[in-house]
Amino acid sequence: MAFPSSSPATPRRRADIPSDRPPDSDPLDFPSTPSAVRTPRNRRGDIHSSLSITPSMSSRQRRITSNANRDFTDLNSDANNLEIPASSGPFLSAPAAPADEPDEIRAIWGTTVNLAETMQKFRQFLRGFKPKYRMVYDRNIGLPTRPFATPEEGEVPLYETYMRRMRQTGDTNLNLDMINLLAYTGSEKLYSQLFKYPQEVVPAMDQVLKDLMLETADMDQQSGMEGMEGADGDEEIAEIMGRVYKVRPFGLPSVNMRELNPTDTDKLVCIKGLVIRATPVIPDMKVAFFRCLTCSHTVQVEIDRGKIEEPARCPRDVCASVGTMSLVHNRCEFADRQVIRLQETPDAVPDGQTPHTVSLSVYDELVDVAKPGDRLVVSGIFRSVPVRVNPRQRAIKSLFKTYLDVVHVKLGGGGTLGFDRSTRPAGGDHTPGVGGAGDGGDEDEESGIDGRLSRKAEMEEKLRNLSIRPDIYELLSRSLAPSIWELDDIKKGILLQLFGGTNKSIARGGGGGGPRYRGDINVLLVGDPGTSKSQILQYVHKIAPRGVYTSGKGSSAVGLTAYVTRDPDSKQLVLESGALVLSDGGVCCIDEFDKMSDATRSVLHEVMEQQTVSIAKAGIITTLNARTSILAAANPVGSKYDVNLPITRNIDLPPTLISRFDLLYLVLDQVDEVLDRKLAQHLVSLYLEDAPARATEDILPLNELSAYIDYARSKIHPVITEAAGAELVKAYVEMRNMGDDPRANEKRITATTRQLESMIRLSEAHARMRFSEFVELQDVTEACRLMREAIRTSAMDPRTGKIDMGLLNTGTAQGQRKMRDDMRREVLSILDNSGGGRGIKWADAMKRLGDQSSVKVDSTEFGEVIKALENEGLVKVVGERDRRMIRRMEG
Amino acid sequence: MVSSFLTDALTDPTLVLHELFQDNHNIDSFPATVSAHFSHIFRSLDAFNEIPVLNVQFPPEAHKDRSLVRFRAMVQDTSTSPEMYMAKQTDSTCGGWGIGDESSTTQDQSHSEIIDYTSLRECTVIWAVTIPGECSWVVNELDSSGPTSTTKKQTTHSPSQPHKFPVPDTPHIGVQVKIYDNFRVAESLRSTELRTFVGILTSELLHGDLETPDPPFVPTLHVLFSQPIPSTLIPRTSKHLERDIRDELITWIAEQGLGGDREAAEWVLLCTLARTQSRSPSILPLSLTLSYFPLPSLSSHSMVNTPSLLFVLSHLLPTLSVLPLSLHTLNTTSFSPESKKENLHSGWLQLPSGSICVVTEGGVTEGGILERGLANLRALQKMITSQVLEYIFPYSRFSFDTEVGFLILSEGRKSTFFQTSVNLPLKLVDTNGKEGLYKSPGEITLPPPEKLDLFRSLIGNAKVGSITIGEKVAEYIRNDFVRERQAMASTMVTGSTAGEMFGSDDLIHRMMVARLLALSLQEVEITVEIWERAKELETTRLTRLA
């Protein structure tokens, strides 16, 4: 299909105007001549159609009138040049022909599209479209719809509302959801016309929009709407007259940019991508102004397909001198233009391929809307234009350059990785224009994309069906890292972490929301080397939404949080996000957690409770959100976990940090013949056969598991029921009471409010996993079980065999505290007994203490006790290392 | 008949294209026709070998413009956007393959030329380079058969886009490849894929660079058809060779490259055979560190700084890349490919599947490692442990699966920077061992050519061989594992050594060694003997380490 009317068939249309045409009949051609009030011509950079509609209403007519006619004459003269016999002459000389009914068949050249009909239909659409039509349409194709708050809401003539708003805000852009065209009876054809011939249809729509703007304004003035009475109204209308209105269509199904091919040339397409580079604003010449050096005759030449053709000779017959036309720069008209390079987003790139890029040309209001790093959904006209490069040495090569002339930009497409709005100035990042999707509500991410949607709906259906399976919990945990042996409870814990609890904030608090309670669940795995902790982490990183994997050893505090760099292109300082910020809303997997430097780890304190990262660098002071769950793995201090020591002595981590983990699992390598045999069988079959045997058991594939989690996280927000609440209270009290031992005279801490919060989060996650809107008893039961299991392994004091949360919270168990007290007493008595002011040697003291005691004296414990005594001023340590002496201070 | 086709195709491929187009006006199916036609003409190996080669010896300058060449290449960059071309000229003749670009010369300034958008088609544009690290014996074997009539160019070819070759400052050919038959080949091409492209060589503007004011001219190959290349470069089958060959091979490697250390030679051999078996679970190539590998003594000998092991290996392996670590390479060069201004710059590690990369740490001196260096080290370690390489694009990174064996030569007791699956201290046997490690290529005693061929086949065959395991042996291995752990546990209880527990990772490691051992022994099944031998190999290695 050719659209020659849009091809550069007549690049010098203006200059080619037959000389028999009255040269001064059109003031637009010769603006140097003083003329009547000029109305701006609609020159859209994104369209640059040869069919330039010139809304120049000289009087307030409320129909498609002379303008339309003039446009068609333009079109006809176009056709004329294409040697199509047409009797267009009369139109030229009769620009103001009465045209209450557009009687001529004025079609887009080479097609059956009747422009007048198109305009008429669009007019009806703008007048008649109501949100209810969209709802009916959506429902018919099986989309979930949002019920209207009131029946009236569905009955509002949507675009009239938009037009009023445009008048009030002075906006000139109307965003048009193309799906709405499909939803409105009578305008369905417009959808395909717009998609196929945007060059012609968009300007026609612009024209209709302007006409209707005027009509509505006039109507409102008549009806005496507020602010539109009398002179005010006249002023408004005059203003509208002077404006250029633009329709910005969007809502086509987006295609992958590698699928763009020559058949899409000059059609409207929609693609998604990531901005990697944007040029500064380029002044783009729209109309060139030439003056003949001989006779001072002036000519304006419009841009055509990105080119301006210099008239070779003076168009005036009397003059006709060759090569005398010179450009007068300050009389030319310019528009803003910007070239953007859009790269495929990682999720759109086929496996094993490198991303492609495409050039975008954006104009006027759309300039500077997108910045490098943004994800965009772009609607535009696909262009392939020949480029002539004429390098010195060789023959001219004709090559084709392809790019998109953008008509509509939507920021933040792609769902998962939206940009952080806090990095943009308030209000500075919105796409210009009025109007969103037809349902009047928020623009749902995918709402305009029908093909994708049905697939999405199908997937949803599937997920829902999955969620009602009674063994869904087992199925999901089994599907998590299926190649990893056993470790069922750990997998369950991590599974719940992936679902996460709900974030709560006390909205009624002052200052736009009170404190926020995190819903993210943090999990720490501690264990022997070679127990596939890293594999679990890698796996989670793959399926978790916005999962980021980092190794504690390799990452500095800077790599985790954010750093300031200078952008090589723009030479501006930019804030680059580190792992924690990148995983905002996801899971950050940190391997070798214990090998992290203290500085790095200190960052995590903030992240894990406050869920923010504060940056103060290179003049940039900011707080970034890091609402991330942390899944960390750590190795014990020695190469092997010593079961005779409490966990705090086994991991080199401050207790304050450990206590921030909701679940702490020990993964120990225990020798057990049956298990070992099973493990060996598993491994031998995996590693020695050429095609590793796949587990035949019923597991969910990775992408489905990921989709399931994603869906639950975004759609399900469970609320705690009364029964569940009561159970939570009961479980908490029970857990606390575990420390109450009637025989002992001191109290151990077995559960703190942190544990209660953890239980709430885990219960919520479990409910979410079931796709349940309510947290029920079973959720709480399972959450408590998981908690108990995790606490049993991690918070047990090996000396007493009792669970003591104090171990995790402060690093010292109650039993340990008691032991320290005993030791302190003994040390003091030894020192007192040794007599003399010289004190005793460190090693001697330990030895003597050991002789008295039935249990082995731990050197670290001893050191702690001495330090405490020193702080109290009771003893003094002199000397270094082995020669340390402990002296009793008199006082 | 066929022979006349052959000569036509060889002498004037453009004309053949034009003639083909006469018979086939359907511009949609034409590219497929072209590819079928030409691959039919050159289907026999003899005919294929008739095509002049494009390589470092015969650079683009050595060929006439628009002559037919074959180019054995690695795909370097697939991120260039497709290019539009007129599939049909205004005079209804064939377009594409660089034809017709010249036609506008005559029409020059006449801008009114009507473009028929319906005959616009797309071709895929990629960048391909000489296979990095391709050993000269492969070049001789595959390229020498071609006609040598083309005058050998004396001037050295200077690549137009040197940043697109993994190894800096190395002679190579880089070519812009345009593929018209999109659906069959082009869409599936991946970075580091090996392919022989046959097509018309000419020189064109660098595509995708049209925005820049003065885009450079680069050698361009308009592909008529292409063929995949196996990772062994020379096709291998798993046919049996004499058993002694393996011993002789190990002896030769040991004597010529490793100062007589046969055990090290065996490990080196095993390491070169390794390949990725599966990604999930990940069974990746073993990596080997040869520690206590002495530095070249500055006083003695000539200027040879390269271990002779490298020359030895280059006689055996089809592709061998050397990454000489030094502060300079770390801090100033790039290991991962990186897209700068939408041009994918290559990095040291952009290597084809099946190649072996030797990392020498001898050149590292004291000094600071910059951020770049750290990123490089991390990229290399990641590739060693998980065989993935991240390509850096603006605002995003893309991971690509790799399959490269790593051999690290380190002076210390372990590699300064990297963790490998195997670490083996070198034990020199020869008296003049240290000198023997740094011989110049000329000093290496080569076995007779037939023997060398057998060596190469052994390695090549093993690389494509497959291994199974019988139920009995599997049972044996399982019992072995259980027994070993029990023994370990009991020694641990009695105290003394708090050594590492023999765990699942060790079992996996041992199984991988056994596999490679079986492959090198030309076996198809792991036997109890091989298992025991693998264990022995491990045990002696561990005693060396202690």
DSSP A103: -
**Is A388 part of the contact surface with chain B (CB cutoff 8 Å)?**
yes
**Is A570 part of the contact surface with chain B (CB cutoff 8 Å)?**
no
Residues 6 or more apart from A252 whose CB is under 8 A from it? A178, A195, A268, A269, A270, A379, A448
> How close A131 gets to chain B, by Cα (Å)?
39
Q: How many CB atoms lie within 10 A of CB A233?
A: 18
3-state DSSP assignment of residue A200:
helix
| Contact predicate A524/A632, CB 8 Å | yes
Interchain proximity B78–A399, CB inside 8 Å: no
Residues 609-638 of A with CB under 8 A from B: 638
Spacing of C-alpha B407 from chain mean position:
15
User: In this structure, is residue B358 part of a structural domain?
Assistant: yes
Measured distance CA(B197)–CA(A518) in Å, rounded: 57
Torsion of CA A886, A649, B487, B532, to 10 degrees: -110
**Is A677 part of the contact surface with chain B (CB cutoff 8 Å)?**
yes
3-state DSSP assignment of residue A529:
coil
| Residue B132 bridge partners (DSSP) | none
- Per-residue pLDDT, A563: 59
Query: A interface mutation test: which of B122, B516, B526 has the most A CBs within 10 A?
Result: B122
The enclosing H or E element of A488 equals: helix A488-499
Which of B327, B348, B402, B374 lies closest to A553, judged by CA?
B374
- HEC string of A767-834? HHHCCCCEECHHHHHHHHHHHHHHHHHHCEECCCCEECCHHHHCCCCHHHHHHHHHHHHHHHHHHHHH
3-state DSSP assignment of residue B534:
helix
| Contact predicate A199/A115, CB 8 Å | no
Measured distance CA(A417)–CA(A433) in Å, rounded: 24
* Amino acid symbol at A394: R
Asked if the peptide bond before residue B281 counts as cis, ω within 30 degrees of 0, the response is yes
Interchain proximity B503–A530, CB inside 8 Å: yes
Which of A818, A792, A822 lies closest to A805, judged by CA?
A792
Output Rg (C-alpha) for chain B, integer angstroms: 26
Same domain, B64 and B26: yes
Which of A116, A97, A100 lies closest to A108, judged by CA?
A116
For the question of an ipTM over 0.95, the answer is no
Same domain, B482 and B381: no
**Is B543 part of the contact surface with chain A (CB cutoff 8 Å)?**
no
**Is A95 part of the contact surface with chain B (CB cutoff 8 Å)?**
no
**Is A94 part of the contact surface with chain B (CB cutoff 8 Å)?**
no
Measured distance CA(A882)–CA(A845) in Å, rounded: 12
Interchain proximity A2–B482, CB inside 8 Å: no
Where among B179, B198, B228 does a domain terminate? B228
For A340, nearest residue in chain B (alpha carbons): B211
Measured distance CA(B196)–CA(A185) in Å, rounded: 57
Domains of chain A: 4-245 (no CATH), 472-504+513-674+702-785 (3.40.50.300), 814-888 (1.10.10.10)
Measured distance CA(B21)–CA(B1) in Å, rounded: 19
- Per-residue pLDDT, A83: 37
Token pair recorded at residue A157: 């003539």
> How close A650 gets to chain B, by Cα (Å)?
15
Helices vs strands, H then E, count in chain A: 27, 28
3-state DSSP assignment of residue A297:
coil
Residues 688-727 of A with CB under 8 A from B: 688-692
Strands A629-634 and A587-591: parallel
For B275, nearest residue in chain A (alpha carbons): A690
- Per-residue pLDDT, B451: 87
Closest to A384 (Cβ–Cβ): which among B120, B467, B515? Answer: B120
DSSP A170: T
Which of B543, B302, B376 lies closest to A554, judged by CA?
B376
| Contact predicate A769/A492, CB 8 Å | no
> How close B345 gets to chain A, by Cα (Å)?
13
User: In this structure, is residue B104 part of a structural domain?
Assistant: no
Integer CA distances (angstroms), A61 to A67, A235, A237, B78, in order: 10, 16, 12, 57
**Is A9 part of the contact surface with chain B (CB cutoff 8 Å)?**
yes
Measured distance CA(B503)–CA(A37) in Å, rounded: 89
> How close A405 gets to chain B, by Cα (Å)?
16
Query: B interface mutation test: which of A645, A679, A688, A690 has the most B CBs within 10 A?
Result: A688
User: In this structure, is residue B128 part of a structural domain?
Assistant: yes
Which of A330, A370, A383 lies closest to A48, judged by CA?
A383
Measured distance CA(A450)–CA(A179) in Å, rounded: 9
* Max Cα–Cα distance, chain B, nearest Å: 96
**Is B515 part of the contact surface with chain A (CB cutoff 8 Å)?**
yes
Q: What tens digit of pLDDT does each residue of B456-475 get?
A: 888 888 888 888 777 888 88
Integer CA distances (angstroms), A540 to A546, A549, B413, in order: 10, 9, 35
Q: Which positions in chain B touch A389 (Cβ < 8 Å)?
A: 205, 210, 215
Interchain proximity B395–A274, CB inside 8 Å: yes
Gap between the terminal Cα atoms of chain A: 103
Where among B228, B253, B284 does a domain terminate? B228
The enclosing H or E element of A527 equals: strand A523-527
| Residue A339 bridge partners (DSSP) | A361
Same domain, B135 and B254: no
| Contact predicate A492/A475, CB 8 Å | no
- Per-residue pLDDT, A517: 66
Same domain, B117 and B192: yes
| Contact predicate B514/B534, CB 8 Å | yes
Look at chain B and report how many structural domains it folds into: 3
Same domain, B276 and B195: no
DSSP A259: G
Q: What tens digit of pLDDT does each residue of A191-205 get?
A: 888 888 888 888 888
* Amino acid symbol at A629: S
**Is A39 part of the contact surface with chain B (CB cutoff 8 Å)?**
no
**Is A336 part of the contact surface with chain B (CB cutoff 8 Å)?**
no
DSSP A355: P
Please report the beta strands in B143-251, taking only residues with DSSP state E, as ranges in sequence order.
174-179, 194-205, 217-228
Measured distance CA(B155)–CA(A398) in Å, rounded: 32
Interchain proximity A683–B508, CB inside 8 Å: yes
Interchain proximity A676–B277, CB inside 8 Å: no
Interchain proximity B205–A8, CB inside 8 Å: no
Measured distance CA(A276)–CA(A355) in Å, rounded: 12
Q: Which positions in chain B touch A687 (Cβ < 8 Å)?
A: 277, 281, 283, 508, 511-512, 515
3-state DSSP assignment of residue A467:
helix
Residue with tokens 């947290």: A775
Q: Mind listing the pLDDT tens digit of every residue in chain B (546 residues)?
A: 456 777 777 888 888 888 888 887 777 888 888 888 888 888 888 888 888 888 888 888 888 888 889 899 999 888 888 888 888 777 777 777 877 655 444 444 444 456 677 778 888 888 999 998 888 888 888 877 555 544 554 556 777 788 888 888 888 889 999 888 876 676 778 888 899 999 999 888 787 655 566 677 888 999 988 888 888 888 877 667 777 888 888 888 888 888 888 888 899 998 888 887 766 666 778 888 888 888 776 655 555 677 888 888 888 888 889 888 888 888 888 899 988 877 888 989 999 888 899 998 887 888 777 778 888 888 888 888 888 888 888 777 788 888 888 999 888 888 888 888 888 888 887 666 666 778 777 778 888 888 888 888 888 888 888 887 778 888 888 888 888 877 777 765 554 444 556 777 788 888 888 888 888 888 888 888 888 898 888 888 888 887
- Per-residue pLDDT, A36: 38
Token pair recorded at residue A668: 């120990």
User: In this structure, is residue B58 part of a structural domain?
Assistant: yes
Same domain, B422 and B473: no
Same domain, B334 and B480: no
Token pair recorded at residue B534: 């693998």
Same domain, B43 and B181: yes
CATH number at residue B431: 3.40.50
DSSP B443: G
Burial of A691 (0-12, 13-18, 19+ CB in 10 A): exposed
Closest to A265 (Cβ–Cβ): which among B120, B281, B397? Answer: B120
> What range defines the domain where residue B502 resides?
468-545
Query: B interface mutation test: which of A671, A677, A685 has the most B CBs within 10 A?
Result: A671
* Exposed e or buried b per residue across A208-226, where buried means at least 16 C-beta atoms within 10 angstroms of its C-beta: bbbbbbbbbbbebbeeeee
Same domain, B261 and B346: yes
User: In this structure, is residue B477 part of a structural domain?
Assistant: yes
Q: Which positions in chain B touch A372 (Cβ < 8 Å)?
A: 394-395
Output Rg (C-alpha) for chain A, integer angstroms: 37
Integer CA distances (angstroms), A509 to A50, A254, A506, A753, B94, in order: 58, 42, 6, 22, 74
- pTM score of the predicted model: 0.70
CATH number at residue B158: 2.40.50.140
DSSP A438: T
Same domain, B251 and B216: no
Closest to B508 (Cβ–Cβ): which among A1, A402, A687? Answer: A687
Same domain, B42 and B117: yes
Q: Which positions in chain B touch A384 (Cβ < 8 Å)?
A: 84, 117, 120
User: In this structure, is residue B463 part of a structural domain?
Assistant: no
Measured distance CA(A795)–CA(A782) in Å, rounded: 19
* Amino acid symbol at B102: E
User: In this structure, is residue B224 part of a structural domain?
Assistant: yes
**Is A679 part of the contact surface with chain B (CB cutoff 8 Å)?**
yes
3-state DSSP assignment of residue B342:
coil
Measured distance CA(A774)–CA(A718) in Å, rounded: 5
Measured distance CA(B9)–CA(B38) in Å, rounded: 8
**Is B523 part of the contact surface with chain A (CB cutoff 8 Å)?**
no
Where among B196, B228, B260 does a domain terminate? B228
Which of B318, B287, B289 lies closest to B403, judged by CA?
B287
Query: A interface mutation test: which of B78, B84, B403 has the most A CBs within 10 A?
Result: B84
Interchain proximity B507–A683, CB inside 8 Å: yes
| Contact predicate A299/A325, CB 8 Å | yes
**Is B413 part of the contact surface with chain A (CB cutoff 8 Å)?**
no
3-state DSSP assignment of residue A197:
coil
Which of A240, A182, A262 lies closest to A447, judged by CA?
A182
Same domain, B63 and B149: yes
User: In this structure, is residue B105 part of a structural domain?
Assistant: no
Helices vs strands, H then E, count in chain B: 16, 17
Instruction: Report residues of chain A scoring pLDDT below 50.
Output: 1-40, 50-105, 391-396, 413-430, 436-454, 508-514, 691-695, 742-746
For B378, nearest residue in chain A (alpha carbons): A554
Q: Helix axis angle, A198-222 relative to A188-196, nearest 10°? A: 130
Token pair recorded at residue A813: 């168990």
